[in-house]
């Protein structure tokens, strides 16, 4: 036993440290006890006492546990990880680990495996009941194999995300309240991640199992999903490869960010290089789902709208994730080269050009698709090609709009402020949503389709607007875009002035 | 920069916004040296040590450990294994026992299972915590925690030890014990760079002293050289009509680096002088003999050795002014 522990410590001391810190007899007993009490309550609430348990009851127990296991793991495991990282960052112990010669990957893997040990014990104790009740209820053994494989892959992704949340969150102005950031992540896991995981797998990955899946009754009615006309849900092997493949890619992307932030905490959240890869990956993945023979024209249009909304969120995140801090800008301006190559790849350079490249990557995929596809836009219900002029003008407007917010955030980050991130989030949120809401209220939603109103909507960030006449759309978007362009020019002038001022600040050593 | 230096820096600079915390520092610490870094608060000592420990990265400039350059944003694992760093705060894992804590750090620094137990015993003996081996860290006193931090810092037998204010907050007895431990580490052959405000402690075991002011390393010299150059004072008083001859003689003497008039004689010449003397005690005796031979009538002659604190205060005042 002692020899085994020594070997474990030699291989991954971080994991052994977590085991020693967490696996105290009292904590383990509490986890086991809680799990057993929950199982007992579940059993007596499902089965009738005194009568033989029915097959449907067994299936119900299995079905409940099928939901409880990922929810419990993601929420509790995520909470433990964020809380632990935030605590270590706050107390300063994480710095000692950073300064050790062990690779960052090994340390973080030790954390990922060791910190959520108690939630894992809690769940593992429930697995015999899950499997036995499922088998007695008619669930196939292969489904269990798939289920636990996916739960493991999903946990790897969620726990990696939690590590990232813990490291990044604890250093931000908002994350100083360690309990708050842990609860925040647990909430995200509960409301978004776990439901998305269960819904996707029930619809797609386990669809081919048919009645051998305990969730088949709840999800069998939906049309099988396709990706690039590939029926990913129809074949079990393809569905698993697709799901696990994407979970692996997403986990790898998170790890790239994680390792970078662990090694250099002051670095921007995402490197410029990774942002280009990430935007391309997200767009191809999301766009692929709209390339389906099973989708009607209306659903394809909804897919296009979804893609635009998804990109809006991606870019909103990237605006903050790519912007270097004032200190990074200062160092870059004082001591580094300022070539075009530097603007595209160097993470310390202002993010404006990198954001433009990211928008062009997304637009390069979406715009040709919008132009060559048939869309249900005529009043008679038939489908037509979209007119290229408004589409191109709208694209130009979206690019300009993203650059406006990027420049605005970069200006705020270049200023000497106590909490630049909070200022930036507040100002962007105010400019992005308040005027739109006011105009929507004043104009009673979409009732006014004049060129002037289209110009106003475009200026405020919504260039897609149906008008009674095609001419109105083009003129409206053009005017709106011109106004945006003027604002962008003013902001870029201001940013250039700020950068010039920063560069002229005291420099102690001549540029190498 | 010499190949043999354990630490060498070249134009090392760390700038926070407009504030230059470390300003073009060229530091060299040779093997086996105990280098004391002194300076007023905000002089840049902690920032310099953090840069050397890789806890922070320089704005510009280079660091070499054992002649090997530290690479920016790289793991530098090989160099990290050679460094032990103790910051001025010492966060610990309160939930672990002393033994588990030391084993954890030993393993982080690739100590093999066979070495680990031996090293834990050795470092616990070094910091006199053998009887606390199985205690939980949260139950230790502040002084014990500080000693445990030192044990953690040396568990992997680093070649270079970076200690930032290691004795701050300790009571006098604990401080003396702590300093004894540092002397033991010095005897084991470790190169030590230590910053402290308690100059009498540094005087006790440092071989070299660096003085920092406003981010600059304004002085970096062997302690004995510093004493010789700045730390020996002669107090000479002469009779009235001899004052002018004494001043002329001192101005030309090779071992006199300066003098200050303390009292004026009736004729307006120096009656009593405080002389900065760079020679030995024997050379001071020679000086007295020569003065007398030259016919200068000396009424008082004192040879005194200044402490590091006196020198620091005097030098600091001189440079700032």
The DSSP annotation for A219-246 comes to: HTTSPPP-BTTB-TTTSHHHHHHHHHHH
Q: Are residues B87 and B182 in the same domain?
A: yes
Which residue out of B91, B101, B151, B156 would a mutagenesis test of the A interface target, given it has the greatest number of A Cβ atoms within 10 Å? B91
For residues B137 and B46, membership in a common domain is answered with yes
- Residue B317 pLDDT: 46
Tell whether B316 is covered by a domain: no
Based on the domain organization, do B28 and B101 belong to the same domain?
Answer: yes
The shortest C-alpha distance from B298 to chain A (Å) reads 51
Distance from B81 to chain A by nearest Cα, in Å?
6
Distance from CA of A506 to the nearest CA of B (A): 6
Please give the Cα distance from A76 to A78 (Å, whole number): 5
Q: Does the distance separating the beta carbons of A512 and B60 come in below 8 Å?
A: yes
In B, which residues are within 8 Å of A330 by CB distance? 15, 17
B89 and A CB contact within 8 Å: yes
CA A232 to chain centre: 22
- The pLDDT-based confidence of B61 (bands split at 50, 70, 90) is very high
Contact A508 B85 (CB under 8 A): no
**Sequence-separated (6 or more) residues with CB below 8 Å from residue B43:** B212, B213, B214, B215
* Residues listed for chain B: 321
Q: Which two tokens stand for residue A257?
A: 């960010």
Q: Cβ atoms within 10 A of the Cβ of B234, count?
A: 21
User: Are B33 and B164 part of one and the same domain?
Assistant: yes
Q: State the ipTM, two decimals.
A: 0.81
Mutate which of B15, B25, B53 to test chain A, going by most A C-beta atoms within 10 A? B15
B168 shares a domain with B19: yes
Give residue limits of the domains in chain A.
1-265, 268-512
With contact defined as beta carbons under 8 Å apart, do B151 and B158 qualify?
Answer: no
Do B223 and B239 lie in one domain? The reply is no
The residue-averaged pLDDT of B41-53 equals 93
Question: What's B204's domain CATH number?
Answer: 3.40.50.300
Q: What is the pTM of this model?
A: 0.85
Chain A interface test: which of B21, B60, B154 (most A C-beta within 10 Å): B60
B11: pLDDT strictly greater than 70: yes
- Decide: B201 and B167 in contact? Cβ < 8 Å: yes
Cα–Cα dist B316/B219, whole Å: 10
Are B164 and B260 in the same domain? no
Query: Which residue of chain B comes nearest to A326, CA vs CA?
Result: B17
Q: Are B226 and B293 a contacting pair, CB within 8 Å?
A: no
Picking from B282, B177, B298, the residue whose alpha carbon sits closest to that of residue B249 is B298
Number of structural domains in chain B: 2
- Is residue B1, in this structure, part of any structural domain at all? no
Average pLDDT, chain B: 86
Asked if the structure places residue B312 within a domain, the reply is: no
The verdict on residue B309 lying in a domain is no
Rg of chain B on CA atoms, in Å: 24
Claim to verify: residue B31 and residue B156 sit in the same structural domain: yes
Sheet strands (E) in B144-289: 160-164, 191-195, 208-213, 216-222, 232-238, 256-264, 270-277
Give the Cα separation of A103 and B97 in Å (integer): 25
Instruction: Classify residue B2: in a domain, yes or no.
Output: no
DSSP conformation letters of A133-182? HHHHTT--HHHHHHHHHHHHHHHHHHHHHHHHHHHHHHHSSGGGSHHHHH
pLDDT (0 to 100) of residue B282: 85
B213 and B66 fall within a common domain = yes
Instruction: Name the token pair of A109.
Output: 């893997």
Residue-number span of the structural domain to which B63 is assigned: 7-227
Residue B215 and residue B254 in one domain = no
Please tell me whether residues B202 and B241 are part of one structural domain: no
DSSP codes, B61-126: EEEEETTEEPPTTS--HHHHTTEEEE-SS----TTSBHHHHHHHHHHHTT--HHHHHHHHHHHHHH
Q: Does residue B86 sit in the same domain as residue B187?
A: yes
pLDDT tens-digit series, residues B221-275: 888 888 777 767 788 888 767 777 888 888 888 888 888 777 665 555 557 888 8
Domain boundary among B198, B227, B256: B227
Measured distance CA(A324)–CA(B44) in Å, rounded:
25
Per-residue pLDDT of chain A (512 residues; tens, 9 = 90+): 567 777 777 889 999 999 988 888 999 999 999 999 999 999 888 877 667 778 788 888 999 999 999 999 999 999 999 999 988 888 888 888 999 999 999 999 999 999 999 999 999 999 999 999 999 988 999 999 999 999 999 999 999 999 999 988 776 655 556 667 889 999 999 999 999 999 999 888 988 888 778 876 666 666 778 888 888 888 889 999 999 999 999 999 999 999 999 988 889 999 999 999 999 999 999 999 888 877 777 777 788 888 888 998 999 999 999 999 999 998 888 877 778 888 999 999 999 999 999 999 999 988 888 888 777 665 555 556 667 787 888 888 999 999 999 999 999 999 988 889 899 999 999 998 898 888 888 877 666 667 788 888 888 888 866 655 656 778 888 999 999 999 999 999 999 999 988 888 655 554 44
């Amino acid at each position: 036993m002692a020899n085994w522990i020594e070997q474990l410590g030699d291989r991954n001391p971080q994991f052994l440290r977590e085991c020693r810190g967490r696996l105290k007899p009292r904590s383990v007993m509490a986890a086991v006890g809680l799990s057993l009490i929950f199982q007992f309550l579940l059993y007596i609430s499902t089965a009738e006492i005194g009568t033989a348990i029915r097959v449907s009851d067994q299936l119900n127990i299995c079905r409940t546990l099928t939901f409880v296991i990922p929810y419990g793991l993601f929420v509790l495991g995520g909470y433990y990880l964020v809380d632990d990282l935030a605590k270590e960052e706050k107390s300063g112990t994480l710095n000692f680990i950073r300064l050790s010669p062990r690779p960052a990957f090994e340390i973080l893997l030790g954390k990922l495996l060791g910190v959520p040990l108690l939630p894992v014990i809690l769940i593992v104790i429930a697995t015999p009941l899950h499997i036995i009740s499922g088998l007695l209820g008619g669930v196939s053994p292969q489904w269990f194999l798939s289920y636990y494989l996916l739960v493991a892959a999903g946990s790897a992704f969620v726990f990696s995300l939690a590590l990232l949340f813990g490291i990044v969150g604890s250093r931000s102005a908002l994350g100083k309240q360690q309990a708050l950031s842990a609860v925040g992540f647990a909430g995200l896991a509960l409301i978004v991640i776990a439901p998305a995981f269960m819904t996707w797998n029930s619809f797609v990955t386990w669809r081919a199992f048919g009645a051998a899946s305990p969730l088949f009754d709840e999800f069998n009615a939906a049309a099988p999903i396709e990706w690039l006309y590939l029926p990913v849900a129809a074949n079990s092997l393809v569905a698993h490869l697709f799901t696990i493949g994407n979970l692996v890619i997403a986990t790898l992307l998170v790890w790239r960010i994680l390792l970078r932030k662990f090694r250099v905490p002051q670095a921007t959240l995402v490197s410029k290089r990774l942002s280009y890869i990430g935007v391309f990956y997200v767009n191809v993945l999301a766009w692929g789902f709209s390339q389906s023979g099973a989708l009607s024209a209306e659903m394809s249009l909804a897919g296009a709208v979804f893609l635009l909304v998804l990109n809006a969120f991606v870019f909103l995140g990237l605006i903050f994730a790519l912007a270097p801090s004032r200190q990074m800008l200062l160092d870059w301006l004082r001591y580094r080269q300022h070539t075009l190559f530097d603007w595209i790849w160097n993470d310390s350079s202002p993010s404006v050009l990198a954001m433009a490249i990211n928008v062009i990557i997304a637009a390069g995929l979406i715009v040709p698709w919008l132009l060559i596809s048939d869309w249900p836009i005529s009043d008679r219900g038939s489908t037509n090609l979209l007119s290229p002029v408004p589409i191109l003008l709208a694209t130009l407007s979206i690019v300009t709009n993203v650059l406006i917010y990027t420049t605005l955030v970069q200006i705020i980050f270049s200023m000497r402020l106590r909490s630049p991130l909070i200022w930036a989030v507040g100002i962007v949120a105010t400019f992005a949503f308040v005027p739109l809401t006011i105009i929507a209220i004043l104009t009673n939603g979409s009732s006014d389709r004049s060129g002037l109103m289209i110009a106003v909507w475009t200026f405020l960030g919504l260039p897609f607007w149906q008008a009674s006449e095609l001419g109105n759309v083009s003129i409206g978007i053009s005017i709106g875009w011109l106004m945006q362009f003027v604002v962008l020019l003013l902001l870029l002038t201001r940013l250039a002035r700020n950068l010039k001022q920063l560069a002229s600040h005291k420099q102690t050593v001549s540029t190498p | 920069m010499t190949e043999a230096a354990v630490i060498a820096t070249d134009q090392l600079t760390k700038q926070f916004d407009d504030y230059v915390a470390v300003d073009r520092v060229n530091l060299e610490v040779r093997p086996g040296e105990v280098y004391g870094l002194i300076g007023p608060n905000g002089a840049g000592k902690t920032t310099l040590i953090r840069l050397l420990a890789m806890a922070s990265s320089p704005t510009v400039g280079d660091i070499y450990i054992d002649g090997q350059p530290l690479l920016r944003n790289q793991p530098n694992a090989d160099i990290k294994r050679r460094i032990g760093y103790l910051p001025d705060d010492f966060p610990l894992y309160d939930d672990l026992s002393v033994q588990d804590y030391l084993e954890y750090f030993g393993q982080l620094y690739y100590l093999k299972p066979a070495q680990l137990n031996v090293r834990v015993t050795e470092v616990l003996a070094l910091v006199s915590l053998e009887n606390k081996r199985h205690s939980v860290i949260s139950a230790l006193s502040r002084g014990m925690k500080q000693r445990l931090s030192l044990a953690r810092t040396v568990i992997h037998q680093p070649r270079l030890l970076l200690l930032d204010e290691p004795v701050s907050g300790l009571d006098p007895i604990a401080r003396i014990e702590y300093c004894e431990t540092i002397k033991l580490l010095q005897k084991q052959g470790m190169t030590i760079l230590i910053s402290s405000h308690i100059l009498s402690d540094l005087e006790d075991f440092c071989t070299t002293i660096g003085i920092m002011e406003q981010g600059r390393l304004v002085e970096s010299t062997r302690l004995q050289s510093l004493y010789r150059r700045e730390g020996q004072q002669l107090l000479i008083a002469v009779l009235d009509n001899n004052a002018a001859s004494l001043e002329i003689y001192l101005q030309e003497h090779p071992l006199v680096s300066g003098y200050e008039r303390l009292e004026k004689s009736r004729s307006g010449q120096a009656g009593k002088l405080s002389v900065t003397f760079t020679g030995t005690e024997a050379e001071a005796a020679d000086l007295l003999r020569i003065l007398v031979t030259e016919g200068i009538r000396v009424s008082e002659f004192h040879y005194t050795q200044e402490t590091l604190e006196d020198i620091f205060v005097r030098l600091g005042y001189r440079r700032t002014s």
